[in-house]
Amino acid sequence: MRSLKILGIVGFAVAMTGCVPEWARENETGIIMEVAGITGFAGGEGGTEGNILFSNVRLPINDDAVVVLNVYRKNPSVSATSALEHVRLESYQVRYFRSDGHSVEGVDVPHRITGPINSLRFHTPTDTGEIEVEAVVNIVRQTAKREPPLVNLIGVNTSPTAGRQPGEGYITAVAEITIFARQVTTGEPLTATGRLQVGFADFGAGTQ
């Protein structure tokens, strides 16, 4: 009977763990950080339309994005401020994947990239609400345009012609952007993730 009670308690604990949101299990700080918005900026003859970044693979130019992040307290009833809650952005990662399941890096999509963020710091969240900050990150590095699969798109016309299927020479992928940060005083980690659709193609020579 005692063993059954113990099993029941363990089972209840496991069930309760499954009900706890992922951010609450992984984030031990009193702060939540989230991606509030992403705006892409393509180099050369690329561009943006709506929420899509068009990356011109012909031009060796970086394509960037401005990521807007905000932080706020898990406990909204706390109004006092503290330097212990300051947050410093440290680095980012961009991972690509495709909705059709073909997401092998270097074959179907570019290799993931990582980079530093130049010591951007959030001030303490106040009782008036969230605090926002902008960080600039590379979405597509120029070196990726000289490696498969992007280099294979150079010189390929994206319009339908004899012997060519519509959409050939064009890759649609999702850039998953993860921002890594820490609380300044305690060193506890924080992360936030957002996504941006990217269309890769040869859009012509343009200007460099």
152-174 confidence digits (pLDDT tens): 999 886 544 444 454 578 999 99
How far is the CA of 200 from the CAs of 36, 54, 81, in angstroms? 25, 6, 45
Q: Is 62 exposed, middle or buried (0-12, 13-18, 19+ CB in 10 A)?
A: middle
35-88 confidence digits (pLDDT tens): 999 999 876 555 665 578 999 999 989 999 999 998 887 777 776 667 777 889
pTM listed for this prediction: 0.78
What is the number of H-type helices and E-type strands within the chain?
A: 2, 10
- For 39-67, the DSSP string reads EEE--TT-EEETTEEEEETTS---EEEEE
115-134 confidence digits (pLDDT tens): 999 767 777 666 656 778 89
